[in-house]
Amino acid sequence: MATKYKEKLIKFECSICKRINYFSQKNKKLNKERLELKKYCKWCKKHMLHKETK
Ligand SMILES: [Zn+2]
């Protein structure tokens, strides 16, 4: 099975320190809303909301 790269690479930045901590991919068909993730930020040293950025 061949790997295809139709999905767009997206970055998640911490809403406080603005550092990019996570990467993900998503299908363009599902691209209407900006994603948010609550993930651990090693710079803030706690769980912070990470928002999709470009
Ligand atoms: Zn942070």
Q: Is residue 1 part of a domain?
A: no
* Domain assignment of residue 14, given as a range: 7-51
Residue 28 counted as domain residue: yes
Residue at 21 is within a domain: yes
Examine residue 45 and state whether it is found in any structural domain, yes or no: yes
- Give 4-54 pLDDT, tens digit per residue: 666 778 899 999 999 999 998 876 666 667 789 999 999 999 999 999 997
pLDDT at residue 4 in the model = 63
- In this predicted structure, what is the pLDDT of residue 33? 75
pTM across the whole model: 0.72
Ligand 1 is an ion; residues with CB less than 5 A from it:
14, 16-17, 41, 43-44, 48
Taking the centre of ligand 1 as the mean of its atom positions, its distance from the CA of residue 23, in whole angstroms, is 15
pLDDT at 47: 98
Q: What is the 3-state secondary structure (H, E, C) of the chain?
A: CCCCCCCEEEEEEECCCCCEEEEEEECHHHCCCCCEEEEEECCCCEEEEEEEEC
CATH of the domain at 23: 2.20.28.120
Distance from residue 1's CA to the centre of ligand 1 (Å): 38
Q: Kindly give the distance from the C-alpha atom of residue 29 to the centroid of ligand 1, in angstroms, as a whole number.
A: 29
Residue 2 lies in a domain: no
Q: Is residue 24 part of a domain?
A: yes
Total structural domains in the chain? 1
